[in-house]
Amino acid sequence: GKHRIVIPCLGHFKEEYEKVSKLYMNNKIRTTKYTLLNFLPRNLFEQFHRIANLYFLFLVVLNWVPLVEAFQKEITMLPLVGVLTIIAVKDGLEDYSRYKMDKQINNLLTKVYSR
């Protein structure tokens, strides 16, 4: 089987520790859904899985057809943009609080048993 070598991260063992530790996963906790790069596309993807948002998007697209246009195009977009913005802000704040909690947990001091 595969054996694991444990090397203390001390003085002259530091280089060897860094070389060996790259082979294994770290034990950091990450419960956040988003990063700064994927927040907008992923959040919009999740929001358009809701039937109500798809319905309002359908109304916006339908209102761009000149034959069916009932209101001004911008007025039809306001409810959808408002709901998407409010939900995106809520999701962003929730994810940021998860990020802060993860950072707090990952930086806790731990005790290591040594003979």
Band of the pLDDT at 7, cuts 50, 70, 90? Answer: low
Across residues 21-33, what is the average pLDDT? Answer: 82
Band of the pLDDT at 16, cuts 50, 70, 90? Answer: confident
Residue 9 scores a pLDDT above 70: no
Whole-number pLDDT of residue 57: 92
> Taking phi first (over 0 means left), then psi (-120 to 50 degrees means alpha), and beta for anything else, what does residue 83 get?
alpha
The two structure tokens encoding residue 48 = 């358009």
Whole-number pLDDT of residue 22: 77
User: Which ranges in 31-72 belong to alpha helices (H)?
Assistant: 39-47, 51-63
Whole-number pLDDT of residue 86: 96
Residue 111 scores a pLDDT above 60: yes
